A = this chain, B = another copy of it.
Amino acid sequence: MEKKVTLKDIAKKAGVSTSTVSRVLNSSLPVNSETKNKIIKIIEETGYHPDFTARSLRLGKSNTIGIIIPDISNPFFSMLVKGADDYLKEKNFSTLICNSGNEKNDEKTLKFLIEKKPDAVIYAGIGNIKIFKNVGIPIVFTDRLEKDENFSYVVSNNYQGMTDMLEYLIKTKHKSYVFISGNNNIFSANERLRAFKDFTSTHNVISKIIHSDYSFDSGIDVVNNLSEFPDVIVCSNDLTAYGVIHGLKLRNLNVPKNLSVTGYDDLLFSEMLNPSLTTVNQPVYNMGKAAAEIILNMIEKNNTSVRIFKNELIVRNSTKNSGG
């Protein structure tokens, strides 16, 4: 393991000052082309790499964007991260991904992250917004919307998406509904629930709401505790729908013959399931990308913005098309 080569070493070898080497490195000021070439050659020979830490300290910025998510192994979030990371990499920023585990850890995670001095943060957690009041760097919230103009937001139209789903179900003659909602301090879960409540108050249907937590297991549990079955079980996300379908199979009920099941998110696997899942697609990769675009914009121009994505109904084979 050879000793680290520094800018000073390069300067000494080239017989110039560190200033000059730095100028070549950053193309910040013109340098005599002969000495420039000499310096470049020495850099290549020695395999010199600028020390990013030192540069960050000096410039007061790290070209790093922090991103906080609850769980990287959840396909929704890993796709969100990919969307952001692909874009940021292209713009020469790097991404510091922080897996908070759950909302109680969000504040701790944020502190941990802030110490690394990222230039900005993309936040896709569900913690209390007030922990962000004093961090002093740009933040974009993803998958949530609040009435605070100091922040930027990227959301998708959960209310409209769920409404589209319900309109489709009523049109295909589904008359009785069980709605499995997500945790009620999650923005997206609340919006989808709101759509369901508005739907039931304006349509003549039988309905029941069950509060849950977006998990696979919760879908199984709900099915196990159900004594009679509706025409359709509307799940607030795909993973719960997977659990519901799994649970119904264990009870020897056929989807969609006996009843329909719907999801929300359109995870990669939803079309591979049997039956393939009728759900609502969120453009999650593009949402991640949009968050990245907005955050770079905030760093440069210091202006906040809101971006709302459309959700799209995807009809597949887990819903009956005629109805009973």
Contacts and interface: CB of A to CB of B under 8 A. Distances in A.
A51 interface: yes
Contacts of A249: 274
A96 interface: yes
A252 interface: no
Contact of A99 (B49, B51, B85): B85
A30 interface: no
Given A72-B72, A136-B1, A111 B78 contact: no
A72 B82 contact: yes
A114 interface: yes
A99 B73 contact: no
Contacts of A47: 134
A117 B53 contact: yes
Nearest to A56: B53
Nearest to A79: B73
Contacts of A4: 136
Interface in A31-55: 47, 49-54
Q: Which of A81, A96, A116, A249 is the most central at the interface, judged by chain B CB atoms within 10 Å of its CB?
A: A116
Interface string A72-95: 110100110110011001000011
Contacts of A57: 51, 53-54, 57
A91 to B, nearest CB: 13
A196 interface: no
A278 interface: no
15 contacts: A4-B136, A47-B134, A52-B115, A52-B116, A52-B117, A53-B53, A53-B116, A72-B81, A73-B75, A78-B78, A89-B112, A94-B116, A97-B97, A216-B272, A272-B273
